[in-house]
Chain A
Amino acid sequence: MDTLTVAHFLAGSLVLLSFSLLYQDRLPPLINTFAAQSLVLALAIGWQAETQHAPHLLITAAIEFGFKTVLIPLVLTWIIRNLKIHRTVEIVVGVGPTILAGMALVGLAMALMMRATPGIGVLARQDLVFALSVVLLGMLMMVTRRNAVSQVIGFMSIENGLVLAATGAKGMPFVVETSVAFSVLIALIVTGIFLFRIRERFDSMDVAVIDQFRGER
């Protein structure tokens, strides 16, 4: 089993799980899928640590695992349970067109990265392609879903993509890594409070209700 195949497998699974996020139409499986994606990301980083002989990446992997695979999904589950949020994902664009758009985005990411980075190694290059795909898919998810919780998850999957890109490019400075991790945590806290507040005010998690409140529609 050569290193390339394993890295390819892990990064490919990451993209697959991004699509899986787009496919989910209920919140609990959505959160579980996100946890699975973060787990695969942690494994991918771990594999990078192994192949690049960069032990500090192991810490990054551990942070990813601790925060995104365990802590954040738990918190989100706790939030939807306590807030008794309606457990479906409000969808703006249908699943089929979204998935097709996602495919087009992956193709775009590929064509872009393959042209932009002819010089660098195969491993880093394919990681960059997959990372950009994950980022774009996360953005697509934030655009096409109205539910606040799924928007949070979309945001975090964007972050997953960024971390993949950063570790693929020979690792990033540890300070940056920790600060990114903590910023995500803070984002979670902020969105948590935010969720509580809109829940109190509007009795719904649908972001569209806020638009209505502002008189935008």
Chain B
Amino acid sequence: MVVSETLILAILQAVLVMALAPLLTGIVRKTKAGLQRRRGASIFQPYRDIARLMRKETIISHDASWIFTAAPTFILAATWVAATLVPTFAQTPGLAPIADLIVIVGLLAAARFALALAGLDIGTAFGGLGASREMLFATVAEPAMLMIIFGLSLIAGTTRLAEIAATVQATVPGLHISLMLAFVGLAMLAVVENGRIPVDNPATHLELTMVHEAMILEYSGRHLGLIELAQALKLLLYVSLIAVVFIPWGLAPAGSTLLAYGLGFGVYLIKLVVAAKLLAFFEIAGAKMRVFRVPQFAGVALMLALLAVLLLFVSRSF
């Protein structure tokens, strides 16, 4: 593929994920409200929220250092780069040599590192509590993530997303147990990483239960807006990741016509909506669990991934 086309596609993808991220959050919230028999805000409310935060005055504590003010920008940037690297509506073989799945996970880890430091920066108890728990969740999630990547690498012979998608695309859809186990594991990890119910509740500010919200308690104005945008982007990233690995059908092949790209975009939108509805449904169905149950929850994801790898060893079919 020509470099310029890769560049155009990358820029297009960067703009697309940034533009769609709040929409996904909006759909999740709207669906949740509907399931709770509330009317709920419009699906475009997150855009308005972020715009409103951007217009507000920013308040910074006397005790804050440059880490506190720089973190939101870096978190959004790192998440954005990671999200751009995940194929969304079209295959991006031009981006594949830059980064494989591990690099994407690494970028998210870097964003989390910055967020945890920002939580500790002011020296409040809530910030420390949130940072400490966030890092705990990361420690249980990352081995499981690696195991899933290991399984995918055994199936596809590579950890490049584009090629994994191509491999899965070429198979007959059906009963692939390892793939299914990896799918369930990755979905559970997505819940852990995005702090959704039952791991964390993005809608609450109850002190004793929150993790993500505790870290960003001191943020306001444009800083808070950036962090909320990064959070929405991370959710979109995980949805795109699951979609591209496990249901890559409908992805426009590289170098196709404008129409094919449009079609791929439409399919991608459908995937996003379905994922949002499913997520909302699962959030409604369960209650938030105790913090010390979360390692067990992520442990199940690790177990599923490990089992997927073991099953792959036994047989050539997956």
Is chain B in direct contact with chain A in the complex (CB below 8 A)? yes
How extensive is the interface on chain B, given as a class? Answer: 20 to 34
Asked if residues A110 and B314 are in contact (CB atoms below 8 Å), the reply is yes
Partner of A96, one of B296, B304, B314: B296
Query: If the complex has contacts A5-B176, A6-B175, A12-B177, are A126 and B299 also in contact, measured as CB distance less than 8 A?
Result: no
| Inter-chain contacts of B99 with A (CB < 8 A) | none
Asked if residues A110 and B313 are in contact (CB atoms below 8 Å), the reply is yes
Asked if residues A8 and B303 are in contact (CB atoms below 8 Å), the reply is no
The answer to the question of B204 belonging to the interface, with a C-beta cut-off of 8 Å to chain A, is no
Most buried by B among A1, A23, A99: A99
Query: If the complex has contacts A1-B175, A96-B296, A99-B299, are A8 and B306 also in contact, measured as CB distance less than 8 A?
Result: no
The smallest beta-carbon distance between A94 and chain B, in angstroms, is 9
B283-318 CB mask vs A (1 if < 8 Å, else 0) is 000000000000110011001101100110111110
The answer to the question of A41 belonging to the interface, with a C-beta cut-off of 8 Å to chain B, is no
Which of the 9-residue segments A13-21, A26-34, A182-190 touches chain B?
A13-21
Number of interface residues of A (CB under 8 A): 26
**What are 22 A-B residue pairs whose CB atoms fall within 8 Å in the complex?**
A4-B315, A5-B175, A5-B176, A8-B314, A8-B315, A8-B317, A9-B175, A9-B176, A9-B177, A12-B307, A15-B307, A16-B181, A16-B307, A95-B296, A96-B296, A96-B299, A99-B299, A99-B303, A103-B307, A110-B313, A114-B314, A122-B315
Closest Cβ neighbor of A113 among chain B residues: B314
A110-132 CB mask vs B (1 if < 8 Å, else 0) is 10001000000010011001100
Asked if residues A19 and B315 are in contact (CB atoms below 8 Å), the reply is no
The answer to the question of B88 belonging to the interface, with a C-beta cut-off of 8 Å to chain A, is no
Closest Cβ neighbor of B175 among chain A residues: A9
Chain B: residues with CB nearer than 8 A to chain A?
172, 174-178, 181, 295-296, 299-300, 303-304, 306-307, 310-311, 313-317
Closest Cβ neighbor of A125 among chain B residues: B314
The answer to the question of A173 belonging to the interface, with a C-beta cut-off of 8 Å to chain B, is no
Partner of B174, one of A1, A16, A95: A1
Chain A: residues with CB nearer than 8 A to chain B?
1-2, 4-6, 8-9, 12-13, 15-16, 19, 23, 95-96, 99, 103, 106-107, 110, 114, 122, 125-126, 129-130
A5 to B311, CA, bound (A): 12
| Inter-chain contacts of B300 with A (CB < 8 A) | 23
The smallest beta-carbon distance between A45 and chain B, in angstroms, is 17
